[in-house]
Structure 1
Amino acid sequence: MSRGFVKEEDQEEAPVIPPRAALPVGATNYVTPLGFEALENEKHDLERERTKLPEDNETEKRRAQAVIDGKLKLLAERRASARIIYPNQQPEDEVRFGAKIKLKNHSNGSIQEFQIVGVDEADVKKQKIAFVAPIARAVTGLKIGDTTEFKLGNETRTLEILEITY
């Protein structure tokens, strides 16, 4: 049909669905039990939101529903690919997925603490970094007292593992 015969209000643009946190191609989608629970809660929240869409404006309802459906689809893919790793089943003396670590940056003497988690639960403000982050990859497999060279731009930092907890 020619676009000349289509009403302007029928020419809706597809809504933009924000992408989920990036997971490298071929990478396993590791999550902690709390991370998987958060994915489940997100699903329930989106389903609840879908039932509470405004009835008075059909166009707005359709757009909002399309956004929620898109988010649910991406979430379903992420949930289906999730592989739960239980931190309490990791070797206690080695940095692995789920570890909370304290390390010292010998380059400036600062102490840094964070937990290595899945990409969907990573939140720097909560000191949670994704297992695919360069610093997480640099320290994975290390033990207390071990050091590693971590390159950040033109700078190389010497990091020492001070503490590992799960």
Structure 2
Amino acid sequence: MSRRATRPQRRPAASAAPAVSAASPCPCGLTAPYGECCGRFHAGPATAAPTAELLMRSRYSAFVVRDASYLLRTWAPESRPGEVDFDPSMRWAGLEIRDTTDGTAFHQTGTVTFVARYTHGGEPGSLHERSRFRRHEGAWVYVDGDFLDEV
């Protein structure tokens, strides 16, 4: 997700992240529990997502659980912000992957087009983006993205 999605303006300290345990359903929408799915990339034994799509999913989940260190660690150095500000009134509500191009173990770049649903101040909304990823020192990182009109 892009910088515009995370830093609309300076906010007071974020409220507590939604409770997600290792046994909870993974926020990214895959069937494995969080600890075996995206949680393994956030703090577990797996340090790097093997595909651009899995990195996208794990970054979405990091927004859900408000894991700023993971988001910064998986952001390309040339586009990485100095910090991630979480909006305390934003609640991520679901992720739909619409398309992927390249981004496997055999590629150096890839794109993932997705729709992330949320509520902001109690109002529903969605973020539709085509994100660009590349390999940096062997690991997938988020570079940037283009916002798309919802279809």
TM-score normalised by the chain length of structure 1: 0.23
Bigger strand share: 2
Query: In terms of Rg, which structure is larger?
Result: 1
Bigger helix share: 1
TM-score normalised by the chain length of structure 2: 0.25
